[in-house]
Each structure stands twice: as structure tokens, then as C-alpha cells.
Amino acid sequence: MKFLITVVAIAPPTFLYAWIVRQVDRFEKEPVGYLIAAFAWGALPAIILALILQIALQVPTSILLGESLSAEFVSTAVNAPVTEEILKGLAVAIIYLTRRREFDGWVDGIVYGATAGFGFAYVENIFYLMGTDSTEGWVGLFFLRVLILGFMHGFWTALTGIGFGVARHMRNPFGKVVVIAIGLISAITAHLIHNGSLVLAEASSGLTVLLAILNYLFLGILLLVLGIVAAANDRKLMRKYLEDEVPHIITPDEYAGLCSTSYHAQSRFRMAPKKKRAFIQAAAELAQKKFQLAQMGEEHGNSAEIVKMREVLRKLSTSSLA
């Protein structure tokens, strides 16, 4: 019964976090199937392999440092971040290498990375909560790990995702490796600082809560900024790459609505909400593919994808009714 309650209780906040991160990509949502795959990777292979590696690393750590604060610090603040961020980051790497068409840049990297991180956190939190021996202990740990610190695994792996996203439109192979490495090292470092701070603050619950509040304040501001920057970038791409689609594919009013946040421009969309969302998604995908063709060439058939997306957009546009 405890296991069932734990599994069910953790699910809503975890999926809420994943939904929030997905909203960073306002115009071109990633395929749900890929997000499920990223979540599943974090929840199963990543956490199983991380446990195996951490158990293996615990042996030399104990031999060298014994049962000391230093040993706890190394295990928690060094071994865990290194193994976990590398293994969670593999989800992003697999999508980057095998599904390049659905990996358009740093925003996609954030979404895929964070989703893998939330999958990892979901199962890890089950382990921790199942280890409690009282209702009070379960509630306290749930509040701390799931509600207060529940976003952290997603945030760390999102940094790795940013590295892959920046590399997406680079031509220099060495440069790709460098920015991906910077993303991974940033994830490990942020994870290390967080875990290390918790170990050192363990004796003071007030300090731990303060640290958690600062974490969320930083994350809230960061998500807001990322959402604004991502939306502005998408509008910039649509302004540049959809201009020549007017008036044959989309109408001037629709183009203005895609490129502006003003109420006047948005009111020009004469579509039902569901159709409007599909239209904006198709427009963002067409602009992204035209950008990729300009930056990277054909790759795996960008021209064919452009023709396909242009036809989808034409059918959704009110220009097709004229």
C-alpha cells in the first residue's frame, strides 16, 4: 500500500514540472512520444546504471576516507553528480544523434534534458520515500524532495541539453564537442554545488530550507527569462523565413499575428483555438526547417520537409478559403 501511495503521490507534481518546462517552447512543441522516451530513459536505464556505478565507487571512497564527512561529501557531491548527469544526458544524446529532425536548438535541448531529469527524479524519489519508517518522515521527505527540490534534476540535465542544442547548428565538429562538454560540465557543477551545500547544511534545517527557497527563486526567474527569449527567437525566425510565404501560403494578417505579441496583431487570427494552435505549430516548424536549410544545408532532406510543412500550413491558413 505504501508503494502504491508513493507512486501515485509523486506523479502529479512530477508531470506538472514536465508540463511547465514544455511551455518554454511556446510555438513548436516536441513530439509526445520523444518526451515519453526521454522520461523513460531517466526513470529506468539511467537510474539503474547510476545506482550500479555509485555502489561500485562507494568501495574505494570508503577505503580511502572511511565513515567521515569527507566520504559523505565525495559520495553525495562528486560521485552522484558525475554518474547521474552523464547517464541522464545520454537521453539527450540519443535523440540528438538519431532524431535530428526533431532537435531544432537549445530550447529543444532544455525540454528533452529536463524531461529525462524528471524521469530520473520520479524513480529516485520513490526509493527515498520507501525508505522512511514513519508517516511523519514520509510527509517531511515528500515535501522536501518532491515539492521543494523536485525541479532540480530537470534543471541540471537541461544544462546538458542546452549544450547539445547549441551544437545543433554548428558546422565545426570540434566546436560541437566543446559546447556539449561545457553543457555537461555545467550540469555536473550545478548538481555538485547543490548536493554539497545540502551535505554541509544538513545540521541546520533552517539553512536547508533557505537554500531550497533560493533554488526555486533562481529557477523561477530563469524559466521566465528562457520562455521570453525562446518566444522572441521563434518570432524572429518566423518574421525572417515566413515573409515570402505571404500571400500564397498565409495571409498578411496571419503573418502579422505570428510575428507580434500585440493584442491588435493577435486579434487578426480568425481561427478556432485548436486550429490556431495547429497553425502556429506548423508555422514555427516551417520557419525552423527553412532556417536549418540555410544554416546546415539539406542534412536529411530539409527541402522535402519544407515542401511538406508548407502544404500543411497552407491547408490550415484562411488563405486556402479565399
Map out the domains of the chain as residue ranges: 2-222, 242-321
SS3 29: coil
Burial of 261 (0-12, 13-18, 19+ CB in 10 A): exposed
For helices 2-22 and 32-41, the axis angle rounded to 10 degrees is 130
What's residue 210's pLDDT? 67
- Give tens-digit pLDDT for 29-64: 788 899 999 999 999 999 999 999 999 988 787 777
DSSP string, 246-272: TTTTS-HHHHHHHH--SHHHHTT--S-
The whole-model pTM stands at: 0.79
Peptide bond into 247 cis (omega under 30): yes
> What's the mean pLDDT in 157-172?
89
Q: Which of 3-12, 99-108, 212-221 has the lowest mean pLDDT?
A: 212-221
What's residue 31's pLDDT? 85
Q: b/e string for 218-239 if b means 16 or more Cβ within 10 A?
A: eeeeebeebbeebbeebbebbe
Question: Distance (Å, rounded) from C-alpha 157 to C-alpha 171?
Answer: 24
> What's the mean pLDDT in 237-246?
85
